[in-house]
Amino acid sequence: MRPQSLLATAALAVSLTACSDAPTTSVTAREPEPLRMTLTAATEPQTPPDPCFDYDHLEAGTAAPERQELYNSQDARGFSRWRMACLFRWGGDQFACLDALWSRESGWNHLAHNSSGAHGVPQALPGSNMGDGWWDNPRVQSSWGLSYVADRYGSPCVADGFQRNHGWY
């Protein structure tokens, strides 16, 4: 019941009982319904944690175990997606190009080797350009390959376009 209705009901009851020759009328007020209210706390928008915040710790091997596990992963595709987002701030559109490029080059096989001497996921020529661990470490290969793509082409999509037009990159 709204406050104005309650006052009007009280005034009616008073005026009816004030007249002595008026018939007696009783006014019964309804029980007010319980007030139902939902309170929501105002919160600051939550930003997702930066997956790259502890890159130095990852390099040193002192990061949180779940982050270190991803960093140490032998999954070249997953590691490459993480590394390109962290170091180069490239998004999913660039990963799609990198995925297409390295799928054609090596099928993401870190042991892929061709007759010209190109090796690994990015098909580095010669493979030893990738540094220590070049032969069988997909993280080493991915790290080198992403730096190569960034330095030579600027982005995976430009590298992918070049490779599609020339057959090499």
Residue 44 pLDDT > 50: yes
Which of 2-6, 93-97, 122-126, 148-152 comes out lowest in average pLDDT? 2-6
Q: What is the pLDDT of residue 7?
A: 45
Residue 97 pLDDT > 90: yes
DSSP characters for 90-134?
Answer: --HHHHHHHHHHHHHHHTT-TT-B-TTS-BTTTTBSSGGGG-TTT
- Give the C-alpha separation, 129 to 138, whole Å: 14
Residue 162 burial class via C-beta count within 10 angstroms: exposed 0-12, middle 13-18, buried 19 and up: middle
> Which pLDDT tens digit goes with each residue over 10-21?
444 444 444 455
Domain coordinates of the chain in residue numbers? 55-166
> Which pLDDT tens digit goes with each residue over 102-124?
999 999 999 999 999 999 999 99
Provide mean pLDDT across the span 85-111.
Answer: 95
**Coil, strand or helix: which one is 36?**
coil
